[in-house]
Structure 1
Amino acid sequence: MRIAHLGHAAVLVETEAARILIDPGAFSTDWHGLTDLDAVLVTHQHPDHLDPAALPTLLAANPSAKVYVEPSILLQVQSGDLPSLGDAQALAAGEQTTVGDVLVTAGGGRHAVIHRDLPGIGNVGYVLRSAGEPTFFHPGDSYDTVPSGVDLLAVPAYGPWAALKETIDFVRAVGALEGFPIHDELLNDRGRGLVRGRLDAMTSTRVVDLRGGVTHQF
């Protein structure tokens, strides 16, 4: 399994028979211009995970890509709050789909609480499994779901909904062999280094830095 972190929450996952992009949001442009995608997955409606301006262009350049989104996103498309996402399908918590040789399982259901005065929204994390490959988990914006058997974890490094103590406990609970920080565009390099250092020192997960377009073979 080859993994590329394309900025903030955007992650490209490649296996022998699948090329999957997760969370193409507005805090990154590294995913712009991608082609030959088999699927695009979106964890929730926030623009740092779903760029309403650039995503339609990406989908037009990948007409055969399947699009799976957290269910409330389709309601926003129907109301006109989001542009058309083509033949996008909802993938709710507990549901599965197959993309090439990859089984995608959605989990969770709710975005982490930012503040009690803000309305809650949906969020699904995605577990990607393929025979002979590591199992990968992208949680979106929530630490509530802890799937079993995860080898590789995308770790939200910072968000207005999380504290470092929660991040450490989440990584410990998942217990992945390896991980890499995502959701980091609100941090400077000093902050990124602090989070990586704490995770390395206080969890059993080996943390890899994939910034700068590095593709890592897991």
Structure 2
Amino acid sequence: MKLTKKGHACVRLEKGGQTLVIDPGAFSEQDAAVGADAILVTHEHLDHFDEDRLRAALDANPAAEIWTLRSVVDRIAAAFPGRVHTVGNGDTFQAAGFDIEVHGELHAVIHPDLPRITNIGFLVDGSLFHPGDALTVPDKSVSTLLLPVHAPWNKFSEVVDYLREVGPRQAYSIHDGLLNDAGHGVYNRNLGPSGPGIGGAEHRRIVPGESVELA
């Protein structure tokens, strides 16, 4: 499986000649989802869900489809008839040749005075997990964790504890589009040997456009 980091919380996964894109939002490149055979969206916030980016992808590939939760489906199903599928916690399905499991139900708390929205995470091929905007711990082992490092709803201690609890072999930073170079340096340092320890996982930041091969 080839993993390519796109802007902020978006990633592209390629395997067997097919491409899966997760969370092409407004902080990602305009063409972040173009070329996708399937698209997964974790929730409705604009940095994860952008209709223009979805439309560009589905116009480019008439066979491309979207899997997401009800709140997003209600907003886009009419625009893409027959190509949008509703999924929720516990569901399993195949998309672009990848086996997908859905974990989680709610977005992390931003503030007690703000209502919580729904959020789902996607476990891909039983090995890579994208949690969206939540610190969901799947009920099975994860080899590669896409780690949301910076957001209005989290703090560094929670990120470390989440990484320790999931216990992946490797973790790649996502949800980092609001950080400047100094901020990236601070997070990379604290998630490395100079930090409090992340349970033996190997952490790495890959920049937008960079790719890695996952075993």
TM-score of the superposition, structure 1-length normalised? 0.89
Q: Secondary structure at the match of 1:54?
A: helix
Where does residue 157 of structure 1 map in the other structure?
149
Q: Percent identity among equivalent residues?
A: 33
Contact 2:103 2:122 (8 Å CA) reproduced:
yes
- 1:41 matches 2:33: no
Supply the distance in 1 between the matched residues of 2:51 and 2:29 (Cα, whole angstroms): 13
Q: Given the alignment, which residue of 98, 102, 123 partners 1:102?
A: 98
Contact 2:93 2:100 (8 Å CA) reproduced:
yes
Q: Given the alignment, which residue of 93, 105, 119 partners 1:123?
A: 119
Runs of 4+ in 1 over 6 A off after TM superposition: none
Supply the distance in 2 between the matched residues of 1:127 and 1:151 (Cα, whole angstroms): 10
Supply the distance in 2 between the matched residues of 1:129 and 1:100 (Cα, whole angstroms): 11
Supply the distance in 1 between the matched residues of 2:108 and 2:53 (Cα, whole angstroms): 25
Q: Aligned-pair distance for 1:63? A: 1.5
Q: Secondary structure at the match of 1:4?
A: strand
Supply the distance in 2 between the matched residues of 1:155 and 1:192 (Cα, whole angstroms): 13
Supply the distance in 2 between the matched residues of 1:195 and 1:163 (Cα, whole angstroms): 11
Q: Aligned-pair distance for 1:30? A: 5.9
Supply the distance in 1 between the matched residues of 2:87 and 2:114 (Cα, whole angstroms): 24
Q: Aligned-pair distance for 1:90? A: 0.8
Where does residue 58 of structure 1 map in the other structure?
57
Where does residue 213 of structure 1 map in the other structure?
209
Q: Aligned-pair distance for 1:12? A: 0.3
> Structure 2, unaligned stretches of length 5 or more?
none
Q: Which moved more, 1:100-109 or 1:167-176?
A: 100-109
- 1:185 matches 2:177: yes
Could you say what the CA RMSD is over the residues aligned between the two structures, in angstroms? 1.8
Supply the distance in 1 between the matched residues of 2:33 and 2:148 (Cα, whole angstroms): 24
> Structure 1, unaligned stretches of length 5 or more?
none
Contact 2:31 2:56 (8 Å CA) reproduced:
no
Q: Aligned-pair distance for 1:191? A: 1.1
When residues 3 and 94 of structure 1 are mapped into structure 2, their CA distance, relative to the original with a 3 A threshold, is same
Contact 1:7 1:28 (8 Å CA) reproduced:
yes
Supply the distance in 2 between the matched residues of 1:33 and 1:3 (Cα, whole angstroms): 14
Contact 1:20 1:39 (8 Å CA) reproduced:
yes
Where does residue 12 of structure 1 map in the other structure?
12
Supply the distance in 1 between the matched residues of 2:192 and 2:30 (Cα, whole angstroms): 27
